[in-house]
Each structure stands twice: as C-alpha cells, then as structure tokens.
Structure 1
C-alpha cells in the first residue's frame, strides 16, 4: 500500500484517486464562472465528494491557452476563503492549484494538503514556500506560459525533454529535504504541446513512473480529445475517459477531472480487475 500524507489526511496511491476540479475563476475553459460564488463552490464540492472524489483542487488563476495573468491579491481573494470553507465543512484533501508562494503559505495555514503547481515551483519564492509547508507537491511541465504556450509548441524529443525537466525539479525539491513520496509528477497534457506530443507523453507514462515518483494526469475535456474525436468541449467526456483509462493502464495514480462519477465508476472497475478482488 503506497500511502502518502496530505496534511491532515492520507491517501492510498496504490489505488486510483480522483481529484475534482474546482475553478473559482471567471474564465476557465470549461466551467469558468460557474463556481466563483462561495455557495456554488461548496455545493459543487459536496457533489464531487458524493460521486467519489478524494481530492478537491481549488484554482484561482485560469491557465487555459491564451489566459491572462491574475494579480496575487485577486488570486488570494478567490482561493483562500474557499479553501477555508471546504476544510471547515468536509473531511477531504484540498489541493492548491497555484504557482504563488503566498497562496501556498496561506492555503497551508487553512488546511490545504497538496500544492499543485503548473509551473513546477519555478516562480520566485515558490520552492522555499512549498518546502516550508511540509506538504506534498505536484510538479507539472509547461512549455512557455498560458498566454502563448500553444502558439508553436516545439521539441526535439518531447518525452526526453519533459522527463528531464520534471526530474530536475524533483531533484531541486529533494535537495531541500523533500522525500520522493511527497513528489508527484505531471507531464502537463495540453500545456505547450501539440496533439502528437500529448499522445506520445500519455503512451510513455510508465517510463516516468520508473523513476520512483507517482504520476498525476489531467486530460479532462482538453483540446487533444477534441482534435482526435472532432468533438466540442461539452462532448468530450467519453474521450476523457479513454485518455484516463490509458493513463491508469500505464500506472498513473491521480486523475484531475471535471466529471467525477464516470471516472469513479471506470477507475474502480479497472482497479478491481487489476487486483482480481
């Protein structure tokens, strides 16, 4: 049993865990504006928990392709009250979807159990802040920044470059005392990648796992699914399930999703088949 401590809770990562997406932003690509109100955010949290989520990922900065930057004050005002409210009402791991050191510090004080950073702790102060919280981190790869990352993604060897970056960031965390079991890696599907890049990364997730880190994957309703299936964002749930089923088969353990119930059903059945009990 691969148990990881997430603040005041622990999760067994030898079985699939579902991270429900809670965007408290007005401009996220799928659910922008839907949960900006605290009551709506809490209702959605309760719904996702009832459907099988074990982690709620709270984000106050849209990182969709073309998204504009948000001020620290605005991100703080969006995220921290929601984190505090969730932890006061629900027994769940709350993840901070942030790159900002101050959000990491304050979110940890409010009971967050995971730092999920699309910039892999490269912003000023982020690495030190994350280490100081003592929380696990998810390090993601992104080429460029949200404003321009999909303009012309280019790699000489996408898998090698993504893996090299992630391992370098993991090493930076370990050099400051973080244990390997506290580090999750995310190849960053759709973050500065073409369709072909995304497919190659998904097909080689097992090689990332071979380096001793758990893998988080988030392909939920992304454009790669639309490209393969010629489907608009509202029609991508089945394609998302296919991508995440493939990722589970390759060894991924945490799945960041918009649609919790279908993922719980799919992953629970796949897990039970794998264990034959």
Structure 2
C-alpha cells in the first residue's frame, strides 16, 4: 500500500495533500495534561482559533476526560461544556470534531456545526451512537479500546498487540458499517494508551503499515501520552510532566505522517504542523523525481 493510499480521504471532510493536524480543545477541569486551562466557552473558542492559526486543520472539542480513573460527567454537563464551543468555532469556519461517547452530544454538536464524531469507545458506550451518526451521514472515528470490548476499562494483555488490535478494529468497523455508517466516512484509531502499556503503543507505531491494511484513513493520537513519558524518563525512571512531551509528540507526528496517517491529534500544534509538512516535502522529493528535482523551477522554455 502506498503512503497516499494509506492516508486516504474521508467523505464529508476537506482533503489535505499531507497528514492533517487535529488540535485538541479539552473543555474539562481534569484532563490529564491541560485540564482546566480552557474551562469556559470564551477561553476554549479562543484556544481553538489559536490552534488553527498555529497550523491545525481541524479542532477536536471534548467535554469529558478519559484519563485513567476519571469519573464520567453527566449528559447535561457535557452538553453545557461542548455545544457552545462547537458552535463558536464552527461559526468561525473551523472544521470541528466532537470528542464524545454520547449520542445526544454527537447529534447536538453536528447540528451546531461539527463535521466529525470522534468516539473513543467506537460506538460501544452508547447504543444510540451508531444510529445517530448513520442518520446524520457524519464521518466517524472508530478507536480501539479493549476496555469497552471487554465490558469495562480493563488492562490490556496481548500476545501479539498489532495483530490483535488490527483484528479487533476490523470487527468493530464491520459492526459500524452494519449499523449504517458509510464505509468512506470511517476513520480508525489504534487507541494508543487505552488498555495498552508503553511497549504496546511503541509496537503499534512501529507497524502503522499493518493498520493501513484496514483500508480506512488512520488517526494517530499520541500527544503527551504515558508511553512518551516512559521513553523520556530520567535515569531514575521518573517521566517528565505531560506538558514537557511536546517535542516527542512532534517526532511521533513525523513518523505517523511518513507512514501514511490521515491525521495526528495533538495538544501543541505548531511543532507538529511543521513536522507533517517536512514529512510531506520529503515524500514529494521521493515520489516526484528520481534526481531530487521536486520543487525546483522548470528550466526556461520547459512545458
């Protein structure tokens, strides 16, 4: 599979000639790396617009933390957090993704201008989610999270994490299609950090080509996650704080872009926006000409 075929296109969303950058706006008091920073509508909308100015192609708005041990907010609170921010960003022309496991939040976000539903449970948390997405004709992110497949947020145990994640994502995608969501509107996400240890996350990143065989655009969400802290730990094993993992996140973004990811989801946009553009330039130099002539002006008189 070529890089471009692996990257793919999502019906109903803009098309980019490189890996897209999805900026994160957490309208929560308790997200693992930036909880409370954007916990009001005005600040959250401004932050989303700042992310776009820094190079984000779309913005993912969420009102519920999925960090380990987080308590779920009720429906009314999630709606109160999310809908005004979605509406405010969409009114400014931003391509908005809504990060939710609730059908009601997805429906109202789409009505407010969101273009994509990003459900970390892959439609398992709310039985009304898939019918709602199908009825709206919306693009949908199917993430791997074995906790929901097993009926709870369980620790993942794998014999072959890459093969098992690919197989489980394939089965989940089939169920989503059977529920009426169009195949050309499905994005897959390996769920880095969700029921996975650092070695599992690294193995999945090392084999993104296997995830591309699923035949759907791939979203990679590695930003500031625990496995990066594990990689960057000091000699005593202490990881750096989440907000000090952005350079490592940009490195993963470049790797993901090089291996055909459709988009990367990040908290700090500028470095990743640069990383995916460099990856695209290198890809162009490889594919546009055998002598490294890509991007040079044509000789005078050439047609």
Partner residue of 1:237? 246
Q: Any idea what the Cα deviations from partners look like across 1:185-228, whole Å, max 9, x if unmatched?
A: 00000011001111111111111112211100110011100001
SS of the counterpart of 2:147? coil
Higher strand share: 1
Looking at structure 1, the residues matched to 37 and 104 of structure 2 have their Cα atoms a distance apart, in angstroms, of 25
- 1:26–1:33 contact (8 Å) kept in structure 2: yes
Superposed displacement of residue 114, structure 1: 0.3
Secondary structure, counterpart of 1:161 in structure 2: helix
Equivalent of 1:65 in 65, 68, 90: 68
CA distance in 1, matches of 2:249, 2:204: 15
**Correspondent of 2:228 among 225, 228, 249:** 225
- The TM-score normalised by the length of structure 2 is 0.85
Tell me, yes or no, if the aligned pair for 1:4 and 1:13 is still in contact at 8 Å: no
For structure 2, list consecutive stretches of 5 or more residues without a partner in the other structure. 234-239, 286-294, 296-303
Please, what TM-score do these two structures have when normalized by structure 1?
A: 0.92
The number of residues matched between the two structures is: 270
Distance in 2 (CA, whole Å) between partners of 1:26 and 1:193 is 24
Which one of 92, 95, 108 corresponds to residue 94 of structure 2? 92
Which residue pairs with 1:41 in the alignment?
A: 44
Aligned to 1:256: 265
* Deviations 1:22-51 (CA, angstroms, capped at 9, x unpaired): 000010011101111111111101110111
Contact 1:217 1:255 in 2 (8 A): yes
1:31-180 to structure 2, matched below 5 A, reads 31-88=34-91, 90-122=92-124, 123-144=126-147, 149=153, 152-180=155-183
Counterpart secondary structure, 2:172: helix
Aligned to 1:215: 218
Q: What SS class does the counterpart of residue 22 from structure 2 fall into?
A: strand
Larger radius of gyration: 2
The residue number in structure 2 matching 1:268 is: 277
Post-superposition offset of 1:160:
1.9
4+ long deviations beyond 6 Å: none
Unaligned runs of 5+ in 1: none
CA RMSD of aligned residues (A): 1.6
Which position in structure 2 is the counterpart of 1:16? Answer: 19
Q: Distance in 1 between matches of 2:216 and 2:25?
A: 25
